[in-house]
Structures are given as structure tokens and as C-alpha cells.
Structure 1
Amino acid sequence: MKPYKVILSGGGTGGHIYPAIAIAKEIQRRHPDTEFLFVGAQNRMEMEKVPQAGFAIEGLNITGIQRSLSVENLKFPFRLLSSLRKSGKILKQFKPDVVIGTGGFASGPLLKKAVGKKIPALIQEQNSYAGITNKLLAKSVQKICVAYDDMGRYFPESKIIKTGNPVRSDVLEIEGKRNDAFAKYELSPNSKVVLVIGGSLGAKAINILISEQLPLFKKLGVQVLWQTGKLYYERYKDLESDDVRVMAYIDQMDLAYASADVIISRAGASSVSELCIVGKATIFIPSPNVAEDHQTKNAKAIEKEDGAILIKESELNKKFESALEILMTNETRREELGANMKLLALPNATNDIVDEVEKLLGVGSGK
């Protein structure tokens, strides 16, 4: 039997790229001869991250629509037409058996052309608020894998499968890694650790907050493992001390999670899914600068189940200090939040999504 040929399309942010890579690797594990091609947006991070993961990628000249008036918006129709034409050529040359979209503007043209050619297609929606690309594609694809309940507000119920979001395999099991984590990051096992993660590029508001609250961390006697993001590292690297580790990027998130007693994070879909699996007390500080404020909606879905604390950027001055003090001094509350969050985890997401892909390919589970 000839090898399967699979196209995965999505990108713009890590939240769209890493799930696609995780899905591809699971398909590859089950069907080693599969041929893969990723399709992303030119000059975005997928053009670097996908080849690093060992997969080929083609780039489309496509960008999202800006929320403010800009010259880029005037170029959008021309870029869309160009991307649709290139997508058609990619599909004609590669001849995929199935196409998978993980969201972001890059996946729109490719999936649109694929469903027009009757190629089986699946989309994966990571957020509790569906993105515009996936909403536009929903009527045409065969399967829609989601991570939250009540997604029938956006998609046809008959196509929805609740799978959760794919996460990095190394974070599925962090038990027993705490000592290794302390050694790697030169942390003391005698003091509690706060892990701060604002994304690979960084989060301006979170970095400002941490820099201003270093006296509070010192007063509470806690250590800080602080990922500033590469855009902000130079600004904050001099704040490193015996109790504060400042890093541009954390490359072993399993060890970082293992070291933490409390986590401060944005609320992107991938981060939320990982943190549910990790099951540590978390303060979510959602970015307000994302489409439809979807990070706040993601965090609210966890807060509603008493699985995390949500603090909006506009309320940090009023709420952060007291929230952190409660978590650092009340072990029972930390454990309660962590346990409630872990109940929301969907650790088999990648397997479940690939099960659905295999149905579209017309094969058994293959596990």
C-alpha cells in the first residue's frame, strides 16, 4: 500500500504550530512511511519551528486582518488571492490523502482549496472561543476536534469531537523530575518556586509586574524562575540574583513545571492545556491583545471550576499581591487549585485526534 500523504496547515503563533507538530509526530509513530508537508505563513515562526522538528514546510504570503486601519489591510485581498492560487498548486503537486488545519490565518486558504477539491479535512480548535478561520471552514470539513464544552455555538454539533489540545509529550509526566529541575536551574529545594511564563516572545505586562514585585517575592522567601521571552531578556537579565533566575526561553518545560509550586502564565490554549495536565496552582494573566479576548475566555473556563485564579492586566495592581500571598502561605489552597485543574486535563488529546484522522484515511486505530 502506498504511503499516506498528509498536509498540516496552521501557524502565526506557537499555539497553532506545536499542536500540528504533535499531531504529525503521532501519525508518524503509527505510520512511519507517511509523507508530510506543512503549510504556514511566510516570515512567521512556523517557518523556523517546523523544519527544526524535522518536517518540510511551504509558506504562503498571507497575514491576518489588523484590528486597526492600516495599509496591510488594503493588501489583504491580494494576498488572499495569491495564497489561494499557491494553495491550489501545492495540493495539485503533493496530492494529500487528508488535510489538517490547526488554526491561524495561514490555514484558511489551504483548507478552503482542499475542501473544494473534496479532500478529507479535519480542523482542530484550541480555544474556548472559536477563531474566525475555523468558523469559516466549519461547514466544509468532515471533523472538528475541540478542547472545550459548548462549542456547538460555533460549529455543527454533528462534526464536533471533544479531544482536548495536543501538548508536548515531555509534560505528560513530570513526577519524579523535581530534583533534576532544582539541579538544572540551580534552585534550592528548601524554598518554594514561582514559575513565570509569558510565551516564547514574552509578555510585557507580566515582565513589568515581576520586575516590580521582586521585593514581594523576597519578603515571602520564594525563588523565581522567570522566562522573559526573547524580546525582553536584555531588559531584565540584570535582575538575576541568588533567588531569581532570568531566562529568555525555557527549553525543558517539563523540568520547569516540576520545579514550580505556583505558576504565573498567559492563558493561550496550549498553555492552559499543558497546565491542566501539570496540575499546579496557577495565576492566569490573559493577554487582552488577542482576537475576541479569547485568552480571558480560556482562563474563565478554568476559573469557573475553581481550577485557577484569573487576574486581568487592568486589575494587577489591586489583586496580584494578595493572591500571591494566599497561594504561597496556604498549602491547602495550592493543592486544591492544582487538583481541580488536573480534573480538567485531557492528556490523550493527540491520540484521540489522530484516531479521527485515521477514520478519514479509512484505516483502523493503528495504535
Structure 2
Amino acid sequence: MSAKRYMISGGGTGGHIYPAIAIAEELKERYPDAKFLFVGAKDKMEMTKVPEAGFKIEGLWISGIQRKLTLTNLMFPFKLISSMLKAKKLIKSFQPNVVIGTGGFASGPLLKVASSQGIPTLIQEQNAYAGITNKWLAKDANSICVAYEGMEKFFPKQKIVVTGNPIRKDLLEVNSKKEFGLKYFQLDPTKKTLLIVGGSLGSQRINELIASQLSMFQAENLQVLWQCGKLYYDRYKSLETKAIKVLKFISKMDMAYAAADVIISRAGAGAVSELSLVGKPVLFIPSPNVAEDHQTKNARSIEDKDAALMLKESDLDDKFQEVFKSLINDIELQKRLSKNIITLAKPLATKAIVDEVERIEHELK
């Protein structure tokens, strides 16, 4: 029997890339001889993150449509045609059993071409508000795996399977790694650790906030693990001390979560899924600059269950110190948030998605 072959596309941000990698890793575990080809957008972060995870990737000349008239928008039809032609070529030479998309512009041309050739396709939507690419692909997809109830307002109801978001295997058991995490980042085991994650690309507003609060963190005897993002690293690297670790990017997120006592994070779907599994006390600061303000909706759904705290960017100047101090000093609050957020975790999401991949592959043979 010939080895199975899977094409996977998801990119632009970590929220699309890491689910794609998690699905590939689960497939690889089930089918060790399987062949994989990722397809991304040239110049986007998937072109480095996917090879780092041990998978081959090809890039398409594709980008999103801007909200105002720009040269990029005028180029979009040409980029789309070029990407469809390249996707066709890649599919012809790779001959995939199934094509999987986790969002991001590159998955559009790839899955559109695959569907038109009768190849089974599956899309995975991380957010409570569906992305533009997945909405475009939904009509032709064979299965649509989602993380939230109520997604029939975006997708055909009969195709939807509620699975949760795929999680990288190394995050399934972080609590036993605390000692390793502290050593890995050269942190002091006698101090509490605050982890700040502003999304895979970093967040200007969160970085400004953290820079302005370092003396308060010091007064609270905290050490800080601060992922500021590569765009902002040069601006903030001079603030590094023994107790303040400033990092462009954290590749070993399991170690960072393990070392953390309290976490400040954006509220992208991937972050929310990971943090539910990790079970540490979290203060969410959702990004207001995303489609339909979906990060605020993500964070509010957790806050409503008394499983995390949330602050809007517009409230940071007035309320941050008060809210943060109540979190860091109230052990009972920390325990309650931890206990409640863990109940929202879906540790079997990746398995459920790969079960769907197998189902559509067998049914459509």
C-alpha cells in the first residue's frame, strides 16, 4: 500500500500555523510513513515556522485584500490567478489523499483547486467569527471543524463538526515541567513569574503597557518573561535585567507556560485554547483590531464563566494596576480562575479533527 499524502495550508499568523502543525503531527503519529507538503504565503511567518517543525513548505504569491484602495488590492486578481496555477501544479505533482486548510490566504487557492478536482478537503476554523478564506471555501469543503457552537450562521450546518482547536502535543502536560521551565529561561525559583504573550507577532499596546509597569512588577517582587515580538524587540531589549527577560519569540511555549504563575495574553482563538489547557490564572487583553472584534468575544466567553479576567485596551490606563494587583495578590482568585479555565479545555481536539480527515478520506475514495 502506498504511503498517505497530505497537503496542509494555514498561515499569516501563529493562530493559523500552529493548528496546521498540530494536525500534521497527529497524522504523522498515526501514519509514520505519510508524506506532507505545506503551502503558505511567500514572505509570511509560516515559511520559517513550518520547516522549524520539520515539514516541507511551498510558498504562493498571495496576500489579503486591504480595506482601502492600494496597489496591493489592484494586484490581488493577478496574485490569485498566479496562486491558483501554482496550487494546481503542486497538487498534480504531490497527488494528495486529503487537503486541509486552517485559515489564512494561501489556503484559499489550494483548497479551491483541490475541491474542483474531487480531492477531499477539510477546513478548520479557530474563531467564533469565521475568517474570509474559510467562508469562501465552505460551500465546497467536505468537512468543517469548528471550536465554537453556533457556526451555522457562517457554514452549511450538515458539514460542521464541533471539535475545539488543535493543540500542540507538548502543551498537553506542562505542569510537570515547571522546574525545567525555570531553568530553561534562567529564572529564580523563589520568585513568582509573570508571562506576557502579545500574539505571535507581538502587540504594540501591550508592550507599551508592560514597559510602563516594570517598576510596579519589581515592587511586587515578580520576574517577567516578556515575548515582545520581533518587530518590537530592538525598542525594548535594553530593558532586560536578571528579573526581566525580553524575548523576540518563544519557540518552547510549553516551557514558558510551565514557568509562569500568572499570564497576560491576547485573546486569539489559539491562545484561548492553549491557556484553557494550561490552567494558569490569566488576564486577557483582547486586540480591538481584528474582524468583528472576535478577540473580545473570545475573552468575554471565558470571563463570563469566571475562568479569567479581561481588560479592554481602552481601560488599561485607568484600571490595569488595580486589576493586576488583585490578581497577583489574591491566591483564592488565582485558584478559582485556574480550576474554572481547565474545565473549558478540549485536549482531544486534534484527535477529533484527524478522525474527520480519516472519515472523509475513506468515504470519498
CA contact (8 A) 2:20 2:102 kept: yes
Matched, 1:323 2:317: no
Question: Where does 1:96-115 land on structure 2 (aligned, <5 Å)?
Answer: 96-115=96-115
Supply the RMSD in Å over aligned alpha carbons: 1.5
Tell me the residue number matched to 2:125. Answer: 125
CA shift, 1:262, in A, is 1.1
Corresponding residue for 2:236?
236
* In structure 2, C-alpha distance between the alignment counterparts of 1:81 and 1:156, rounded to whole Å: 27
The aligned amino acid for 1:164 is G
Residue 334 (structure 2) aligns with: 334
2:168 matched residue in structure 1: 168
Q: CA deviation at 1:45?
A: 1.2
Q: How big is each residue's C-alpha offset from its partner over 1:259-293, in whole Å with a ceiling of 9 and x where there is no partner?
A: 21210011112111110100111111122222332
CA contact 1:267–1:299 (8 Å) conserved in 2: yes
1:60-87 CA deviation, whole Å, 9 max, x = no partner? Answer: 1110011233111111111112211222
Equivalent in the alignment of 1:19: 19
| Aligned twin of 2:177 | 177
The residue type equivalent to 2:332 in the other structure is T
Normalization by structure 1: what TM-score? 0.95
TM-score (normalizing by structure 2): 0.95
> Matched residue of 1:362: which SS?
helix
Q: Show the 5 A alignment for 1:124-143.
A: 124-143=124-143
Which residue in 2 is equivalent to 1:206?
Answer: 206
**Structure 2 equivalent of residue 245 of structure 1:** 245
Question: What percentage of residue pairs aligned between the two structures are identical?
Answer: 57
Q: 1:65 to 1:215 in 2, by over 3 A?
A: same
2: CA distance, partners of 1:15 / 1:244? 26
Amino acid at match of 1:21: I
Task: Tell me which stretches of 4 or more aligned residues in structure 1 moved more than 4 Å.
Answer: none
Query: Match of 2:234, as an amino acid?
Result: E
Residue aligning to 1:276? 276
Counterpart in 1 of 2:265?
Answer: 265
Q: For 1:88 and 1:189, locate their aligned partners in 2 and report how far apart those are by CA, in whole Å.
A: 54
Verify the 8 A CA contact 1:123 1:143 in the aligned structure 2.
yes
Distance in structure 2 (CA, Å) of the matches to 1:105 and 1:291: 15
Letter aligned with residue 147 of structure 1: A
Structure 1 residues without counterparts, runs of 5 or longer? none
Listed one character per residue, the Cα deviations across residues 145-201 of structure 1 (whole Å, up to 9, x for unaligned) are 111122122112211111111122111101222222222323233322211111333
CA deviations 1:209-247 (Å, max 9, x no partner) are: 001011211222222111111221221122122432222
Whole-angstrom distance in 2 between the partners of 1:265 and 1:113: 37
Distance 1:182 1:122 in 2: 39
Q: Report SS of the residue matched to 1:65.
A: coil
Question: How many angstroms apart in 2 are the aligned matches of 1:40 and 1:145?
Answer: 20
Secondary structure at the counterpart of residue 177 of structure 1: helix
Q: Check whether the contact 1:230–1:248 (CA below 8 A) recurs between aligned residues.
A: yes
Q: What's the secondary structure of 1:347's corresponding residue?
A: coil
Q: Secondary structure at the residue paired with 1:176? A: helix
Higher mean displacement: 146-155 or 275-284: 146-155
Aligned residue type for 1:181: G
Cα 1:49–1:186, aligned 2, differ >3 Å: closer, same or farther?
closer
Pairs aligned (count): 363
Match in the other structure for 1:55: 55
Does the CA contact (< 8 Å) of 1:11 and 1:40 recur in 2? yes
Deviations 1:37-65 (A, max 9, x none): 11111111111222222222221111001
Given that 1:200 and 1:230 are in contact with CA atoms closer than 8 Å, whether structure 2 keeps it comes out as: no
Equivalence for 1:301: 301
Q: 1:119 Cα deviation (Å)?
A: 1.0
CA contact (8 A) 1:9 1:39 kept: yes
Are 1:93 and 2:93 counterparts? yes
1:350 counterpart letter in structure 2: T
